[in-house]
A and B are shown apart, each in its own frame.
Chain A
Amino acid sequence: KNQVEQSPQSLIILEGKNCTLQCNYTVSPFSNLRWYKQDTGRGPVSLTIMTFSENTKSNGRYTATLDADTKQSSLHITASQLSDSASYICVVSALDGGGTSYGKLTFGQGTILTVHP
């Protein structure tokens, strides 16, 4: 069964500090991994997308890494801001039998990040 597990479930940090969120997955065959940011009561917004051949991708203060061998990904947030308070969701998609991603995704439960002043 395809699964995505995220840790920690929640995290509290002080403004200006760095943090790292973890994602482990068992989705196979792997197509791509995405990190989303979801503000409370809003839809998820994409931060990064990585395919099998990519092991790091940055989007401003967000840097995602991917280790396809160990099936792990991390999202590192640098110099956190109050606006970073949100849920961060790891999403993995699998290839279908024909070798193309068919768009069905497996979602992690999310890590709730709270940034305090």
Chain B
Amino acid sequence: DGGITQSPKYLFRKEGQNVTLSCEQNLNHDAMYWYRQDPGQGLRLIYYSQIVNDFQKGDIAEGYSVSREKKESFPLTVTSAQKNPTAFYLCASSAFAGDVVGYTFGSGTRLTVV
């Protein structure tokens, strides 16, 4: 079955550590996205990539970094510079930037700083 896989489902990080969240898709989609979800707030865009080896900052990119070396993979690193990293992180993909019908979300990673 085609889809987006995020791992791990739960992640715990000590303060001051970097951590990387995985996002893999087998939908042959060009565009991929990372969102952050906090209680009572709408999803906020962290980074997006319209094509391999290219990515752009979203609305809240500070303290995060990404890479897009392969079409299937778009990992997100939460660095120690992110002051409030505890949140639910969602990865999404679409056939191309602007694709309406094929926008698909992963099942999310819950990151907790301990």
Contacts and interface: CB of A to CB of B under 8 A. Distances in A.
A32 interface: yes
Q: Looking at chain A's contact residues, is the secondary structure mostly helix, strand, loop, or mixed?
A: strand
Interface residues of A, number: 28
A60 interface: no
Contacts of B42: 4, 89, 106-110
Interface in A28-42: 31-32, 34, 36, 41-42
Interface stretch (B14-22, B68-76, B77-85, B95-103): B95-103
A96 B98 CA distance: 9
B43 interface: yes
B48 A49 contact: no
B94 interface: yes
28 contacts: A31-B100, A41-B107, A42-B107, A42-B108, A43-B4, A43-B6, A43-B90, A43-B105, A43-B106, A45-B105, A46-B103, A49-B100, A51-B100, A93-B100, A100-B98, A102-B97, A102-B98, A103-B33, A103-B48, A103-B50, A103-B96, A103-B97, A103-B98, A104-B45, A104-B58, A105-B43, A105-B45, A105-B103
Interface of A: 4, 9, 31-32, 34, 36, 41-46, 49, 51, 89, 93, 96, 100-110
Given A43-B90, A104-B45, 6 more contacts: A41-B88, A42-B107, A96-B98, A103-B31, A104-B58, A107-B42
